[in-house]
């Protein structure tokens, strides 16, 4: 059917959509643009709520583990100023890689 | 009591030869009779977690697996590879369908170990069990008995589905009946890991933030201190649990809904008991078909994730984040046990267009009651809902733009 594309969520989340949420401080001016994505956003929401393709065992936090003899080295390299991002570029300390399921 | 495999002396004592802990000592195949009345009608009493005789109601408890195999030892003392004998490599030549002679009447009884390790003799109605391990993956080191009853599981499934009916596929709604839920023991490997980790990289700590520019050029900028960061530690990972059937390991959500079963972990595997086929009466099982060697890379990758996430606690200073450039994880020791873990599964077979199909599960953890599921969608209705949302969103958007200009 004509509206079938609405159910192919892979095509529904333009990168701009997630970026707006992650980094920039929302000053309200993009709200009208976001509202123009209401239809696709609704389809994605229903898809995930019913099909739960985003769910998995969160092994990285749900597995018991203890640290012992922790040795820490922290050496200041230099000061940086006037950075435009609120987060460090390339930060990966919360990454999960042993992830077998794909959401869509 | 720890018992090393009898054949151990024959194996040259190289450091990488696995140490095998024999976990089926004294296990017997065939008729396992009630100690009090001799009946073979023995099954799990979900309320007590004990095996109960259907005739005389005699209950017998099972030994905790970790204690029975003396595996309570400190993970920090683990060295090399230690495996339970029920985790040993599967040999292709070992039959999956076994034939036994019923010792009560002499008839031949077939046990299909792909689905259970028990079968009933057609002639004398006695139950025959397979308890001795053989290299076909059917008899694990330990089993975690169901403690969530079928009624409780049905309630969880009903509740889950009730919240997802409006956009559900009509065939799913028509056929839905939670009492069709099945209790299945699924195969897993439970792994303890003693590892040493060295993480090196850089981190940033915010020192100031301010607003610059005016009007349209107004933006926030940040100052930060950049650090070289190093973290070195020993990590003891307890009961890392991973599916050990190749079918269940496949979690491509376009092909199956195995991610649903994956998501109801973890289980309290520390309460698993020595394997006894009588736990399988009233339930089915799936056979393990993956070996330690095949699962090793996935376990290492998960261990790295766990180490990376445990290290977060030591990085509070770096509020802008840390970029690890190098992650060395050296596994010093590991201990593997094969386990059957209890899952209540409700299935629905969706026939899709173009001859494709998808098996949807609603799964309930047989210990914790944690519930997750996949409900097929009524696509036309979702599309309609999306159109309605789009119309409302577009109207609101135009309204906002008008008021803002
Ligand atoms: Zn009895
Ligand atoms: Zn018989």
Instruction: Spell out the per-residue pLDDT of chain A, length 104, in tens.
Output: 334 434 444 444 443 443 334 444 445 578 888 888 999 999 999 999 999 999 999 999 999 999 999 999 999 999 999 999 999 999 999 999 987 656 65
A contacts of B311 (beta carbons < 8 Å): 67, 93
Cβ proximity of B313 and B192 under 8 Å: no
Which ligand is nearest to the Cα of residue B122, counting in written order?
2
* Residue that wins the pLDDT comparison between A30 and B229: B229
Chain B CB within 8 Å of residue A22 CB:
no
pLDDT, tens digit (0-9, with 9 covering 90-100), for B296-321: 999 999 999 999 999 999 999 999 99
**CB neighbour class for B285 (10 Å; exposed up to 12, middle 13-18, buried from 19):** buried
More confident residue, B326 or B93: B326
Alpha helices in B166-280 (DSSP H): 170-175, 246-249, 258-263
Instruction: Note the Cα B269 to chain centre separation in Å.
Output: 10
Q: Which residue of B has its CA nearest to A60?
A: B306
Residues of A in contact with B212 (CB under 8 A): 82
For residue B50, what pLDDT is reported? 93
Locate tokens 């981190």: which residue? B203
Q: Which residues of B touch A76 (CB under 8 A)?
A: 225-227
Q: Is B233 on the interface with A (CB under 8 A)?
A: yes
CB-based contact, A18 to chain B, within 8 Å:
no
Q: Quick check: B105 and B29 in contact, CB under 8 A?
A: no
Q: Please state the φ and ψ torsions of residue B324, each to the nearest 5 degrees.
A: -80, 125
Interface contact A4-B383, CB threshold 8 A? yes
pLDDT in tens, B144-201: 999 999 999 999 999 999 999 999 999 999 999 999 999 999 999 999 999 999 999 9
* Tens digit of each residue's pLDDT (9 = 90 or more) over B66-105: 888 887 788 999 999 999 989 988 877 778 788 888 888 8
Q: Which of B117, B99, B96 is nearest to B108 (CA)?
A: B99
Ligand 2 centroid to Cα of residue B120, in Å, is 8
> Is B386's CB within 8 Å of A61's CB?
no
The sign one gets for the Cα dihedral B254, B360, B270, B294 is negative
The size of the A-B interface in CB pairs under 8 A is 273
CA distance B60 to chain A (A): 31
Task: Express the helix, strand and coil content of chain A in percent, nearest 5 each.
Answer: 40, 20, 40
On whether the CB atoms of residues B236 and B73 are closer than 8 A, the answer is no
List the single residue in B219, B225, B298 with the smallest CB-CB distance to A76. Answer: B225
Note whether A80 contacts B225, CB cutoff 8 Å: yes
- CA dist B206 and B227 (Å) reads 11
Q: How far is the CA of B117 from the centre of ligand 2 (A)?
A: 16
Higher pLDDT, A43 or B26: A43
Ligand with minimal distance to B59 CA: 1
**B49 belongs to a structural domain:** no
In a 3-state reduction of DSSP, which class is residue A31?
helix
Q: How confident is the model at residue B27 (pLDDT cuts 50, 70, 90)?
A: confident
Q: Mean pLDDT over residues B29-38, rounded?
A: 87
> Is residue B252 a part of any domain in this protein?
yes
Average pLDDT value for chain B: 90
d(CA A101, CA B258): 9
Instruction: Using CA coordinates, name the residue in chain B closest to A44.
Output: B386
B266 contacts A75? CB cut-off 8 A: no
Cα B293 off chain centre by: 18
pLDDT one-digit tens code per residue, B238-258: 999 999 999 999 998 889 999
Q: Is residue A1 less than 8 Å (CB to CB) from chain B?
A: yes
Specify if B161 maps to a domain: yes
ipTM of the complex: 0.86
In a domain? residue B204: no
Q: Is the pLDDT of residue B38 over 60?
A: yes
Residue B218 lies inside a defined structural domain of this protein = no
Instruction: Compute CA distances B174 → B89, B96, B170, whole Å.
Output: 44, 37, 6
Q: What is the number of structural domains in chain B?
A: 1
What pLDDT shows up at residue A9?
A: 44
Q: Are strands B357-365 and B321-351 parallel, antiparallel or unpaired?
A: antiparallel
For residues B113-121, average pLDDT: 86
B42 belongs to a structural domain: no
User: How far is residue B148 from each of residues B177, B184, B209, B338, measured CA to CA in Å?
Assistant: 18, 12, 53, 22
User: What pLDDT, on a 0 to 100 scale, did the predictor assign at position B138?
Assistant: 87
- Single out the residue of B36, B48, B43, B2 nearest to residue B22, CA to CA: B2
**pLDDT at residue B403 tops 90:** no
Q: Please tell me the distance from the alpha carbon of residue B20 to that of residue B77, in angstroms, as a whole number.
A: 16
Cα separation, A102 vs B258, in Å, equals 11
- Whether B321 sits inside 8 A of A100 (CB atoms) is no
Q: Let me know: does B82 contact B333? Beta carbons within 8 Å.
A: yes
In whole angstroms, what is the distance from residue B29 CA to residue B130 CA? 5
pTM equals: 0.86
Which pair of structure tokens corresponds to residue B206?
């915010």
Distance from CA of A10 to the nearest CA of B (A): 12
Domain that holds residue B362: 2-31+62-196+232-374
Please give the share of chain B, as a percent, with pLDDT higher than 90. Answer: 66
Does the pLDDT value for residue B116 go beyond 80?
yes
Per-residue pLDDT at B56 exceeds 90: yes
What is the crossing angle of helices B379-404 and A38-51, to 10°?
140
Of B240, B387, B393, the CB nearest to A63: B240
Residue contact B262–A56, C-beta within 8 A: yes
Nearest bound ligand to CA B121?
Answer: 2
The pLDDT value recorded for residue A101 is 59
């Amino acid at each position: 059917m004509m509206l079938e594309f609405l159910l192919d969520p892979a095509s529904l989340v333009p990168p701009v959509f997630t970026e707006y949420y992650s980094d920039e401080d929302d000053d309200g001016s993009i709200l009208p643009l976001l509202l123009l994505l209401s239809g696709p956003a609704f389809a994605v929401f229903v898809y995930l709520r019913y099909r739960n393709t985003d769910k998995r065992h969160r092994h990285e936090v749900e597995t018991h583990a203890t640290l012992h003899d922790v040795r820490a080295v922290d050496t200041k390299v230099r000061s940086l100023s006037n950075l435009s991002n609120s987060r460090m570029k390339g930060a990966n300390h919360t990454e999960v890689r042993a992830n077998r399921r794909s959401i869509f | 009591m720890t018992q090393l495999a009898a054949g151990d002396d024959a194996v040259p004592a190289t450091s990488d030869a696995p140490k095998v802990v024999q976990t089926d000592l004294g296990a017997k195949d065939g008729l396992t009779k009630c100690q009090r009345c001799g009946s073979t009608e023995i099954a799990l009493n979900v309320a007590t977690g004990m095996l109960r005789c259907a005739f005389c109601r005699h209950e017998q408890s099972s030994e905790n697996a970790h204690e029975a195999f003396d595996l309570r030892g400190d993970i920090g003392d683990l060295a090399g590879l230690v495996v339970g004998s029920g985790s040993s490599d599967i040999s292709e030549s070992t039959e999956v369908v076994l034939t036994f002679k019923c010792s009560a009447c002499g008839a031949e009884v077939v046990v299909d170990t792909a689905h259970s390790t028990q079968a009933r003799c057609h002639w004398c109605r006695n139950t025959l069990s397979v308890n001795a391990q053989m290299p076909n993956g059917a008899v694990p080191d330990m089993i975690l008995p169901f403690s969530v009853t079928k009624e409780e599981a049905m309630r969880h499934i009903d509740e889950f589905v009730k919240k997802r009916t409006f956009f559900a596929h009509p065939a799913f709604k028509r056929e839905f009946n939670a009492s069709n839920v099945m209790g299945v023991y699924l195969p897993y490997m439970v792994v303890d890991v003693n590892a040493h980790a060295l993480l090196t990289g850089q981190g940033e700590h915010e020192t100031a933030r301010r607003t610059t520019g005016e009007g349209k050029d107004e933006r926030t900028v940040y100052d930060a201190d950049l650090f070289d960061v190093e973290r070195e530690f020993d990590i003891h990972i307890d009961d890392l649990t991973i599916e050990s059937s190749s079918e269940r390991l496949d979690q491509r959500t376009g092909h199956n809904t195995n991610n649903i079963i994956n998501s109801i972990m973890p289980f309290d595997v520390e309460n698993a008991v020595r394997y006894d086929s009588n736990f399988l009466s009233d339930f089915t099982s799936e056979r393990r078909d993956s070996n330690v060697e095949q699962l090793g890379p996935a376990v290492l990758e998960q261990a790295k994730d766990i180490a990376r996430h445990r290290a977060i606690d030591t990085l509070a200073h770096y509020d802008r984040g840390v970029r690890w450039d190098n992650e060395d994880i050296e596994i010093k020791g590991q201990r593997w046990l094969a386990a059957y873990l209890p899952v209540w599964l409700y299935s629905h077979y969706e026939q899709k267009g173009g001859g494709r199909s998808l098996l949807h599960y609603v799964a309930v953890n047989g210990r914790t009651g944690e519930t997750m599921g996949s409900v097929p969608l009524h696509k036309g209705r979702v599309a309609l809902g999306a159109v309605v949302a789009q119309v409302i969103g577009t109207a609101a958007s135009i309204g906002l733009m008008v008021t803002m200009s």
